[in-house]
Chains A and B, each alone.
Chain A
Amino acid sequence: MTGKFYATHAALIGIILAISGFITWSAVDARASLDNLVVVAPVASVIALLAVILVAVTLLKPAPTPAEGEAGEAQAKDPGIWGDMLMLAGFGVFCYALTKVGFDLATFLFVWAGVVMSGGKGWWQPPLYAAIFTAALVYGFGSLFPYPMLTLVL
């Protein structure tokens, strides 16, 4: 076993297996009949088989050449990964906050923070842009929604 199994790959396969397992269990628990499992059962079996194949292929792969090894290490230690994860977490919080604190406030704060995190320069440009963008979204995009939309300020 010479191949490397990176943490993000392991996490992805783990998530796929966990979610697939849960959906399969829930479907079988609801009703174990052909009409209910016609897609779930074969798909679950194929997913399990493919996951085993992928893990085995990765672990049994011949040792990477020095250049490949360095590229792989660089990807694994990519400093941008933490920035991406922070942005993802921020995006998740923003999505959750839309209907909690108001679409306007959540959008303003997210866009401001996002511009700064993505390298936007200046201390006044990012909040000014975020305010204008939020107003445009609320009065433009939001006015087309056929649903009520919670706002705090606008």
Chain B
Amino acid sequence: MIDQFALSQALDLLFSSFTPWLWVIPGLLIGLVFGSIPGLQISMAMAVFLPVTFSMDFLQAMLFLTSIFTGGAYGGGVTAILMNIPGSSSSIATAFDGYPMARQGKHNEALGLGLAASVVGAFVGYILLMLLIQPLAAFVLKIGPLEMVVVVLWGLTLIATLNDSSMAKGLLAGFFGLMLSQIGMSTTGVMRTSVGMPYLIDGLPVVPAMIGIFAAAELLRLRGETYLVQNEAQRDISFGRILKGAGETFKYPGVLIRGSLLGAVIGAIPGVGSSVANLVSYGEAKRTSKTPERFGKGAPEGVVAAESANSSSEGGSMTALLALGIPGGAATAVLLAAFSFHNIIGGPSFIRNQTDVVYSIILGNLGQVLLLAVLGLLSLRLLGLVVRVPLSYLVPSVLAMCAWGGYGITGTIAGPLTVAGFAALGWLMRRNNYPVAATVIGLLLGRMMEGELVRTMQISGGNPLRYMLERPIALVLFIIMLLVLVGAPALKALKRRRQARAEV
């Protein structure tokens, strides 16, 4: 599976001089900053710093841009944990348990858990990429709209599990998100309502909506309190406790490995990636847990599942780029731009003729992951200081940043207004115990779902079920999904009934 000669050449390329590594630490720091500020996107950071790479050689440029990618993926999780603001859609599930942990004064442990899970996840993702780049590329080529429908459906099933007290409320919130995703022009070009705003022709901007519904609504709820962590003794940023949290990650090896594998596979699917990976991984961790009722209230496994999946999906997303020359998302599209600037075209010939460069990119990323562990630990002390800021100053400041972030994403008034509208919706939903995350998941996946469903209907001639029999990957995925969603709970219920009967 590994070309030994190319591997030794890759090691030579990477370690014969310090030049390729020169920009890795700045890149990780840029990524951490962009990832942790709501509204600044990783892809935006990569695009802003793309011109800097024009004077670099190809490998140096790749390591710099991918280090922004790596740092940003973790930075998004930091704000999700500390302030319930997912820096990007790939950190939504991190907030579910990370933020409750922070409110309980376990912010050090949560940050440590997130960092360790991210490092392990990214490591697993890149190792898999190195070992399986060719079979994974073949797998990606076999992914069609029906397979995407099944994966998106899997992500959507999380909606039903988000509210323990009332499933109807969770479902209503999720379906309302799906409905909101239908604003603007349809995937087939039919102009539906844009609510009188030409800016919404492409639909509601998801990230500003997510910032508004998560952050602004939560900040309003905090308004009457003094600090994020009420107990003064627990407000410290403790290196020891962060390390303890990082060590705790390895108490959940099953969750960690499953999250990393799910992330790598789902991340490899172009257009789906880390946004769905973290949701599926979180949902699976909750479903298979012996104590699912702890999820959403500060369960460490929740943070591990989400962070391992979104970080390993980075390795997965590089599969399509390196092996097929297809960008799976905005960030990999910027990487593709850097490829073309250096006259390199990703694809089978790139892997065949320049295997050493491919290996050096992957090995360089593994090195970055280790550097992220060190840099993350050092920066957490600084980022964690947010728990010591009085809420009377923190709440209006972060609210203002949320609105600015909305503008930063859209470049029009639609961004800040979306943040404001969703802040009001989120406030109303939280007051009545509706899970706001379900609405975001619906909004995020609705448009993807519609496009893939329409394509599936067209390809299958209106008979998707018969078509599924011709698509082995979709069929296997669908059967696994059914087994996980219906089979496993039914088996558990049967066992419980038998046990109860035996006791009687």
Contacts and interface: CB of A to CB of B under 8 A. Distances in A.
Contact of A144 (B48, B183, B223, B431): B48
A8 B175 contact: no
Interface string A72-97: 00010000100110011001101110
B397 interface: yes
B37, B171, B221, B431: most-surrounded residue (chain A CB, <10 A): B431
A12 B428 contact: yes
Interface string B154-181: 0000000000001011011001101111
A145 B401 CA distance: 13
Interface string B316-335: 00000000000000000000
A88 B175 contact: no
In the complex, which range does the number of interface residues on chain B fall in? 35 or more
A83 B190 CA distance: 42
B407 A84 contact: no
Chain A binding surface SS class: helix
A47 B172 contact: yes
Decide if the interface of chain B is mainly helix, strand, loop or mixed: helix
Contacts of B176: 16, 19-20, 47
A57 B166 CA distance: 10
Given A12-B432, A91-B403, A114-B396, A39 B446 contact: yes
A105 interface: no
Contacts of A6: 432
A118 interface: yes
Contacts of B401: 137, 141
26 contacts: A9-B432, A12-B428, A12-B432, A19-B179, A27-B193, A36-B188, A38-B453, A39-B449, A50-B168, A53-B168, A54-B169, A54-B172, A80-B224, A87-B220, A87-B223, A91-B216, A96-B413, A98-B403, A103-B404, A114-B397, A115-B396, A118-B223, A119-B392, A133-B400, A141-B37, A144-B408
Interface of A: 6, 8-9, 11-12, 15-16, 19-20, 22-24, 26-27, 30-31, 34-36, 38-40, 43-44, 46-47, 50-51, 53-54, 57, 75, 80, 83-84, 87-88, 91-92, 94-96, 98-99, 103, 107, 110-111, 113-115, 117-121, 129, 133, 137, 141-142, 144-147, 149
